[in-house]
Amino acid sequence: MKNMKTLFISVSLLLTTSGFLSAQVNTTDERKVLNYLEQSKFETNIQGAVVYVTYGYISAYNTYGLIVGNNSGNKNYFINATVKTGYSYATVSGMNLEGSDFKVEVYSNGSVTAGGLSFKKVKK
């Protein structure tokens, strides 16, 4: 009986610990959120067009920001990105030169959403 209690406690601790380790993004750290967005591209399909979002250096503006584009080669740049951190997700937002805002939510499990759409992670 004592061995069963020990086993139960060990398994519980293992499952609890592995739940924390499976989180892909530390959404309480601004730099880690931006690094996560910068290391990959996130795509979705809108009416047959592939739309992607990523974070990176924008040479035309000599700064970093969110880059939103499609498979036709069109790109929009959202500079002056700010990050609002939280425990379950972080929000990254930027503004283009016309004054339009764009916002991306990054969740601790690694999922990314924008404008109510889910984006899947792909290699950059």
User: 94 lies in a domain?
Assistant: yes
User: 9 lies in a domain?
Assistant: no
| Statement: residue 97 has pLDDT above 80 | yes
Whether 56 contacts 68, CB under 8 Å: no
User: What's the mean pLDDT in 33-56?
Assistant: 96
* Per-residue exposure over 19-32, b if at least 16 CB sit within 10 Å of its own CB, e if not: eeeeeebbbeebeb
User: 115 lies in a domain?
Assistant: yes
User: 4 lies in a domain?
Assistant: no
**Spatial distance between the Cα atoms of 118 and 32, rounded to a whole number of angstroms:** 20
pTM of the predicted protein model: 0.78
User: 18 lies in a domain?
Assistant: no
Question: Could you give the number of structural domains in the chain?
Answer: 1
User: 91 lies in a domain?
Assistant: yes
pLDDT of residue 20: 39
Whether 92 contacts 81, CB under 8 Å: yes
Whether 118 contacts 106, CB under 8 Å: no
Distance (Å) of CA 120 to CA 17, 50, 75: 26, 11, 18
For 41, the domain range is 24-123
Which residue has better confidence, 32 or 19? 32
User: 17 lies in a domain?
Assistant: no
| Statement: residue 21 has pLDDT above 60 | no
| Statement: residue 90 has pLDDT above 60 | yes
